[in-house]
Amino acid sequence: SYELAQPPSVTVSPGQTATITCSGHNLGDRSVSWYRQKPGQSPVLVIYQDSNRPSEIPERLSGSNSGNTATLTISATQSMDEADYYCQAWDSTTVVFGGGTKLTVL
């Protein structure tokens, strides 16, 4: 079965750029979505189809996908960006999630 790997944690200083990766075999041939989940809340879509952003998501968040790695980039990181982030892709007719990355702004 297809697997997506994410680093368990990423730490960034306020105002700096955070990069969260999602790795899978030939992931660049698939479409990747990203979700943000804050404690006690439901996941929220932040990126779909590799690099598209829902209208309510700020431009500071961007996505890319090439080769074996998809990347979520958060520029000018703020404390409000602290959350767990999950990548998601399809494997034929089934869905795969990455294990999640805890972003700490410190």
Partner 1 sequence: QLQLQESGPGLVKPSQSLSLTCAVSGASLGNDGYSWSWIRQPPGGGLEWIGHIYDFGNTYYNPSLKGRVAMSIDGSKNQVSLKLTSVTAADTAVYYCAVCSGPGGSAWFDPWGQGTLVAVAS
Q: Which residues bind partner 1 (CB under 8 A)?
A: 1, 30-31, 33, 35, 42-45, 48-49, 54, 86, 88, 90, 93-100
Cα angle 89, 53, 20 (rounded to 5 degrees) comes to 60
As measured in angstroms, the least distance from the Cβ of 86 to partner 1 is 5
CB nearer partner 1, residue 26 or residue 93: 93
Query: Look-up: residue for tokens 């805890």?
Result: 102
As measured in angstroms, the least distance from the Cβ of 87 to partner 1 is 10
> How many CB atoms sit inside 10 A of residue 59's CB?
8
Helix (H, G, I), strand (E, B) or coil at 60: coil
CB nearer partner 1, residue 16 or residue 51: 51
As measured in angstroms, the least distance from the Cβ of 47 to partner 1 is 9
* Residue 61 CA, distance from chain mean position: 9
